[in-house]
Amino acid sequence: MKLVLNLLLNGFAVFVAGYLLPGIIIDSFFTAIIVSIGLGIVNTFIKPILLLFTLPLTVVTLGLFIFVINGLLVLLVSTFIPGFKVQS
């Protein structure tokens, strides 16, 4: 039950982000749920590998490079999910 609630809240947050930010386009709430699942999978498997490889750069920038990694992961998810577009 907690997983379903977490999934719905993440989907709602993605949907609201698409509504508030002009560069993010989300077709429906169902697409937002799929995006939240995709982001969860990418953050679980790919993000730790990227953090390990970019550790020196992350240390030099005092952790600010993690924002770049998060942005790249959102762009990666947007290429695989139809109905979710990041324009800028």
The domain ranges of the chain are 2-86
Cβ-based neighbours of 37, under 8 Å, separated by 6 or more: 7
pLDDT digits (tens, 9 = 90+) for 31-72: 999 999 999 899 999 999 999 999 999 999 999 999 999 999
Burial of 77 (0-12, 13-18, 19+ CB in 10 A): buried
pTM of the model: 0.88
